[in-house]
Structure 1
Amino acid sequence: MSEQEDLAANYQRAFGKRIGYGERPALILIDFVQAYFDPDCALYAGVDSALASALRLQKAARAAGVPVIYTNVVYTPGGADGGRFWQKSMTLQNFEAGSPMGRWPDGLTVDQGELVITKQYPSAFFGTSLASTLASMGVDTLIHTGLSTSGCVRATCVDCCSHGFIPIIAREAVGDRHPGPHEANLFDMDAKYGDVESEADVLRYLETRKQQA
């Protein structure tokens, strides 16, 4: 990249394509759990606005008959099932089975029949049934919301692409503890793996699914 060429122009030459939405979406809410909303927890991220956006998308998806999927993280006491991720992190003890930090935050409810994927690693696909479940549903597009942008959202996005599903990342409905990694990872996901779209654009798309239901 030359000194005169800005970052967006440089990436546009190599990564400027859009995938676009598919025909059969599902919505995923990644790790919206209490740890990120409790100021006394080391994982606190100040992401109330991301949850509010995700809940608006949840409401629209339900109205359109689009599947809604949730993830959480649960470990056995001591983290024997956490492997190197547990070894690396200073915070995963907050997700030991029974910890209040692992519960859904106020305002988030899971309806009967909606799927909860419990995971131990960043990606919602790794070591879970998510890919086969989406395939059996005929889903081709996975709308990403959740926490954190630079961690489990990004990991899920990359695996979503790798498994052949279209990753759509709802910009306002993902969050991180600092704007630097948040924006950098949105930029990178949009450039290389999926499409980052505004909440308003995703809501319009979900409305078309309702009309076709």
Structure 2
Amino acid sequence: MKWWAELFPEPERRAYAQMAKGFKFFSGTRPALLVVDVVKAFVGVPDLSLEEASHEWVTACGPAAWEALPRIKTLLDDFRSNNLPICFTTGQPGAAAKFGGTNKAELSAMGSPMDRPGAQEIPDLIRPQDGEWVLDKPKASAFFATPLVAWLHHHAVDSVVIVGCTTSGCVRATCVDAMSWGYPTAVIEDACFDRSRLSHGVSLFEMHTKYADVMTVEEFEQDHSPGSLAQ
């Protein structure tokens, strides 16, 4: 049993299990990898505790971010070696002032972290290569008020793989919209991160139950290898 399923009492797990009854949702032969908001504003500074990281960047996720980065790199390497589409997302500077914040905190005294210098920097370990799209989005979902669907269509994408942060925020919003647009969706649990392990786990459980297949990098590589899909 997944650790995030164990967050729920047994009667609640049984009730949720009636919904999909083990149905496998993710499928397709040409997936795109969406790397959601893995930028300095959320990754923060390495080798700091969560509390220390949040003093530097209020939205930073601390050690959880740096644990996820090598796993994101593994998936990037696989998608790149098989010439499959990759999209990085980040928040759009100035979007909070123009369109309202991505969450209510941005409308309060916090302001938008994306308006700080360096907020959109992507860590060197996973830095985009030439030709890989970096999409700056005005809201939480990568799909909302962006040309992402047109990009997916242009690249003949038939399924979506999501990694990044935060699991309970932009990852979940993107996952819901991916399913809503008809894309079989996989969320890679150990390549996603959040400030709260509880929020991370509950969000994984909810997405797996309702909108996507949630799996580890290892499970994805075993069952949905980009190499085999690209053949």
TM-score, shorter chain, exceeding 0.5: yes
Alignment of 1:12 with 2:17, yes or no, is yes
How far apart are the structure 2 equivalents of 1:199 and 1:166? Answer: 17
Matched residue, 1:29: 35
* Structure 1 residues 157 and 92: CA distance shift in structure 2, 3 A: farther
- Equivalent position SS for 2:126: coil
CA apart distance, 1:84: 4.7
- Larger mean CA deviation between 141-150 and 127-136 belongs to 127-136
Could you tell me how far apart the structure 2 residues matched to 1:73 and 1:176 are?
A: 16
Distance 1:137 1:185, change over 3 A: same
Shift in Å, 1:24: 1.3
**Residue of structure 2 in register with 1:209 after alignment:** 229
Shift of 1:143: 0.3
Aligned-partner Cα distance in 2 for 1:165–1:92: 33
Q: Unpaired runs of 5+ in structure 1?
A: none
* 1:143–1:86 distance in 2 versus 1, CA, 3 Å: closer
Paired residues of 1:75 and 1:81 also in contact (CA < 8 A): no
Say how many residue pairs are matched.
206
Task: Please give the TM-score of this superposition, normalised by the length of structure 1.
Answer: 0.89
Out of 200, 218, 231, the residue aligned to residue 200 of structure 1 is: 218
TM-score under structure 2 normalisation?
0.83
User: How much has 1:86 moved relative to structure 2?
Assistant: 6.0
Q: Structure 1 segments of 4 or more deviating over 3 A?
A: 84-88
Q: Which residue number corresponds to residue 61 of structure 2?
A: 45
Q: Retained in 2: the 8 A contact 1:34–1:105?
A: yes
What is the one-letter code of the residue matched to 1:58?
L
Q: Does the CA-based 8 Å contact 1:22-1:166 persist in structure 2?
A: yes
Question: Structure 2, unaligned stretches of length 5 or more?
Answer: 1-8, 45-52
Paired position in structure 2 for 1:94? 113
Separation of aligned partners in 2, 1:108 and 1:73: 17
Instruction: Provide the alpha-carbon RMSD of the alignment.
Output: 1.9
Asked if the contact 1:94–1:102 (Cα under 8 Å) also holds between the matched residues in 2, the reply is: no
> Residue 5 and residue 104 in structure 1: after superposition, are their counterparts in 2 closer, same or farther (change >3 A)?
closer
43-52 or 171-180, larger mean C-alpha shift:
43-52
Q: For 1:182 and 1:119, how far apart are their aligned partners in 2?
A: 22
The partner residue of 1:85 within 102, 105, 115 is 102
Q: Percent identity?
A: 29
Go from structure 1 to structure 2 and tell me whether the alpha carbon gap of 1:76 and 1:167 turns closer, same or farther (over 3 Å shift): same
Cα gap change, 1:11/1:87 in structure 2, threshold over 3 Å: closer, same or farther? closer
1:151 pairs with one of 164, 169, 185: 169
